[in-house]
Structure 1
Amino acid sequence: MSEGIFEGLRCTNGGPILSHLIYADDVVFLGRWSLENALNIRRILRCFFLASGLKVNLAKYSMFGVGINDEEIKFMADCMNCKKGSFPFKHLGLIVGANMNLIRNWKPVIDIFKSRLSIWKAKSLSYGGRFTLLKSVLNSLPTYFFSLYKAPAKVIDALERIRRTFFWKGSDDNSYMSWMAWEKVIAPIEYGGLGFGSLRNANLAMLSK
């Protein structure tokens, strides 16, 4: 990439050039839309195979174009012997290219919350057990999404409702008794709360970071 064989994307005027993102065995190539650029990627991957013996299966790859019409994307994908991709898509468990202001796109996070509670059969746990589970597991589940997207208020309310219901009764029964206001429960320990923390504040803090 540093030799100029593949032309990446410049982030800002005079800023660094972004050509690829790698996480474990997942790779995303980002570059200027041109046939020469695409073919050079194929040549680079061919050289990688010859040097390492690890062959890349292009049939599992997807080609995406931003601001490019579907016919041109299909043509480029055929030249690369890969699939034509479409937005939104999922990468490393995260939705890319979706409007995250829409509540329906947060459904995976809400579903994970609910599924984890059903796995643990929380109704049979004591308050101490529910407290530990909330602090160690459930509070960390939306972190991935919260670090990149601002959650709509209704999504935060839905997640807080799940946490509140889980802590006070541990099931989805219609009636239960809450012994303290939830705002007091999630407050820091030094202010008399249990230190669960507000999901809304966690979301804003992660985005600020």
Structure 2
Amino acid sequence: MAEDCLVQLKYPTMFVDLLMACVTSPYYSLQINGGIEGVFPGKRGLRLKAIATCLDEFDLMSGLQANPTKTNLYFGGVKSDIKELILAATGFSAGVFPFRYLGLPLFTARITKDMYQPLLDKIKDKIMHWANRTLSYAGKTLLINSVIFGLNNFWGASVLLHKGIAKKITKLCKDFIWGIDEGHRRHIFMKWQLLCAPKIEGAIGIKEVLSWNCAQMTKWVWKLLFKPQCLWSRWVQTYVLKGRDFWSPTASISQSRYWNNVVRMKDKLLPSFVDAGVLFSSA
């Protein structure tokens, strides 16, 4: 599976072959008094040194080098002695959860409301930038659906948003649509729920935050059912489902919060599949 990950991430074939050879097939001999004695398989320490050497060779061939001062390794469930060996072999530092990667928080425990603050700040900055412009309702709607939900999509496709965060995002959108005078929202011409209805029903088609978030999370269920050969689906089948049908597992504290979110989406979709008389297997 590790080799598949490297291939899917587009690492050069030569680098993948070298790395896999280092971690799967090394055998060593000892030189004693000028003679070679014995043959034994590589163990943990020798393999770590071989990986570090392989990374150095990759640097020489490609010119791509991991900067030790800017590179961290993150561990979960790793014994302290093994952790220290890995850090010593690579020269990298140990990182601490949670941390941000590509704008999203990566975490091992429950995500807190404070972690959503960068998302709220970005939305506020966009709205404040547009606030002094003369825009029609159609123009404001376009900006919300394209720009604001563009920011929200980045988060919403990875985590189920807290209801409180969804309410704050909705409030920011409401204030932008109706406008605010001296801290008070101007006259409201239509209920927000009606504005969020499809255009074909006479509304202006603003996306409702929680419903759109659920729709985005559903794509992971779709990948498991219809894209079983993609890297993520194969990883889930191998390490999470372990031969079980996708519809069987339930949310569990032993699983990651992200996977539990996917399971909850499955539970919401299951009645619709049953009513349609259609069920799929991810195996």
- Per the shorter chain, which TM-score range? 0.7 to 0.9
Q: Distance in 1 between matches of 2:45 and 2:180?
A: 57
Identical columns (%) = 21
**Structure 1: which 5+ residue stretches go unaligned?**
1-6, 9-15, 24-30
Are the counterparts in 1 of residues 196 and 208 from structure 2 also a CA contact under 8 Å? yes
Inter-CA distance 36–179: structure 2 relative to 1 (3 Å threshold): farther
| Structure with greater Cα Rg | 2
Partner of residue 115, structure 1: 125
- 1:98–1:56: structure 2 CA closer, same or farther, 3 Å change rule? closer
TM-score of the pair, normalised by structure 2: 0.58
Equivalent AA in structure 1 for residue 178 of structure 2: W
Q: Distance in 1 between the 2:108 and 2:7 partners?
A: 21
The equivalences for 1:41-120 within 5 A come to: 41-68=51-78, 73-74=83-84, 76-97=86-107, 99=109, 101-120=111-130
TM-score by length of 1: 0.76
What CA deviation, in whole Å up to 9, does each residue of 1:26-79 have, x standing for no partner?
A: xxxxx9xx5555434322221212222333323321111101356753553233
2: CA distance, partners of 1:98 / 1:116:
30
Per-residue CA deviation, residues 126-152 of structure 1 (Å, 9 max, x unaligned), is: 323312211221122111111111111
**Counterparts of 1:187 and 1:172 in 2: how far apart (Å)?**
30
User: What runs of 5+ residues in structure 2 fail to find an aligned partner?
Assistant: 11-22, 24-43, 220-283
Range moving further from structure 2, 76-85 or 166-175: 166-175
Find the counterpart in structure 2 of residue 146 from structure 1: 156
Helix, strand or coil at the partner of 1:90: strand
Distance 1:70 1:53 in 2: 32
TM-superposed CA distance for 1:163, in Å, is 0.6
Aligned length: 187
CA–CA distance in 2 between the matches of 1:76 and 1:43? Answer: 13
8 Å Cα contact 2:175/2:185 also seen in 1: no
